[in-house]
Structure formats: structure tokens, C-alpha cells
């Protein structure tokens, strides 16, 4: 029955990741820039739009990366999307931020 047996180990990506994909995900984490993490749902797209508006208002390059690969998202330790990453640091997850909130977070990280 296995009620108290050893629990089977599974990877956060459902077993589809390899050492190479995890190494690539770790390298991508340290890259400077702004990223939105999420599968591409409406909430993720709303966060991306608010982030682009915030970057434009701050006079910064409005190009951002939208990471949809769940292995890369898991490498950041994020389990709830959408998430916002600024210069490799997760600054928000699990909610859609307004433009003013994004501006404050970017200023705080890049201060």
C-alpha cells in the first residue's frame, strides 16, 4: 500500500527539466533587466503592460522579457504568477501591480 513508504521524488517542472535546462535557467536569473514571469494569461499580460508603462515613465528602455517556461520560472523560486523580476531579484509575485507600484519597486531596486 505504501502508506508510510518512501515518498517518490519529483522535480518542480514535472520531470521535464535536465541539468542543462536548469543551468541555463540559473544563468538567465542573474541577467540584468526587467522580466515578467507567467504562462501568458491575462493577469501576466496586464502586469507586462503596467511594467512597460512604468519603464517609459521612468525614461528607461521599455523592453522586457516575458518568461513563460515553467522550469525557468521555478528557478526563481516562484510558484505563484504573475511575478516581476528586476535585475535578477523577484520583487513581486502572485498579483497584478499597477504602474505606480512597478515604478516604486524599480526605483527601490535600482535606487
* Mean pLDDT, range 37-56, rounded to an integer: 95
Which residue range is the domain that position 35 belongs to?
Answer: 19-110
**CATH code where residue 103 lies:** 3.40.30.10
| Residues 88-105 pLDDT 10s | 999 999 999 999 999 999
Closest CA to 87 of 105, 68, 69: 105
Q: How many domains does the chain have?
A: 1
Closest CA to 72 of 55, 59, 54, 85: 85
* Mean pLDDT, range 82-93, rounded to an integer: 95
| Residues 12-42 pLDDT 10s | 555 566 677 666 666 666 667 999 999 989 9
Amino acid at each position: 500500500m505504501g502508506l508510510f513508504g518512501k515518498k517518490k521524488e519529483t522535480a518542480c517542472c514535472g520531470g521535464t527539466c535536465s541539468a542543462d535546462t536548469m543551468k541555463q535557467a540559473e544563468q538567465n536569473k542573474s541577467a540584468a533587466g526587467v522580466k515578467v514571469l507567467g504562462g501568458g494569461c491575462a493577469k501576466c499580460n496586464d502586469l507586462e503592460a503596467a511594467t512597460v508603462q512604468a519603464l517609459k515613465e521612468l525614461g528607461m528602455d521599455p523592453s522586457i522579457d516575458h518568461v513563460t517556461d515553467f522550469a525557468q520560472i521555478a528557478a526563481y523560486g516562484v510558484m505563484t504568477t504573475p511575478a516581476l523580476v528586476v535585475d535578477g531579484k523577484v520583487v513581486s509575485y502572485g498579483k497584478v501591480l499597477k504602474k505606480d507600484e512597478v515604478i516604486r519597486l524599480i526605483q527601490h531596486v535600482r535606487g
